[in-house]
Amino acid sequence: MSRALASNGAKKVYILGRRKNILDQAVADIGHDNVVPIQCDVTDQEGLNSAVSFIESDIGHINLLVANSGIIGPSGGVPPGSSIAQVQEALRKIPMQEFTNTFHVNCTAVFYTAIAFLGLLDAGNKKQNYTNGRSQIIATSSISSFNRRITDGFAYGTSKAATTMMLKALATYLVPHRIRANVLCPGWFPTDMTADHFHGNDPTAEGAFPLNEIPAERAGTPEDIMGPLLYLSSRAGAYCNGNCVITDGGRLSVTPATY
């Protein structure tokens, strides 16, 4: 996502993350001098405030905030055909703290990140340089927020549903302040978080998935997430507010889902 923005007209892209070595590697991989790393844990309000202070002193405003943090959380998998006692036992074994922490990262941290950057987003509007639309918050949620089939555990899906609903609520709540909020809901994409699901195979190759699981028969590529991001953040998406953009190869079309 940072590469997409840095390569397509963003004056400056700040990337926030907990691990400095990962941030430095990301900057090197992107290869543009408009990318600035900031070490920050988005689950910590003091860290968020420090990042905001740095940007205030550096450039003084932003036009776009992308909240992209997330974890899978506990799965609590139950084999098909399990008895109700086995289901109960498997789900009861999920540590409550792990369940709650999934919400802390996937939803609570997104909320406090958005709130921390409201002043900078407002300053972006006041600069009146928003030919690509008024200031905007984009959060990365998941199609799991609509999927009624539990694929990655109850904590993950319900935390993402909360994030999706929160961005819709923020879109309405921030109307008086002229700040937009939209949400990206991707399906399967190869990331560090999903690597264990693919067992070393290339999931983006056509035919990697059966038609009845993903109609596109593959996982998403970088272009499949960068395209929707650039749409929302460019003039093309300037009229979007409160939208959910799904990029899942058609997966929600072939699974029990509410959208």
**What residues are annotated to the active site?**
141, 156, 160
Which residue spans within the chain are E strands per DSSP? 13-17, 35-39, 64-67, 136-140, 180-186, 244-247
How many whole angstroms separate alpha carbon 120 and alpha carbon 49? 12
Tokens 């036992």 -> residue: 89
How many whole angstroms separate alpha carbon 54 and alpha carbon 15? 12
**51, burial (CB in 10 Å: exposed 0-12, middle 13-18, buried 19+):** buried
Which residue spans within 132-198 are E strands per DSSP? 136-140, 180-186
Taken in order 18, 24, 30, 35, is the CA torsion positive or negative? positive
Beta bridge partners of 13: 35
How many whole angstroms separate alpha carbon 51 and alpha carbon 74? 30
Question: Crossing angle for the helix pair 109-116 and 154-173, nearest 10 degrees?
Answer: 30
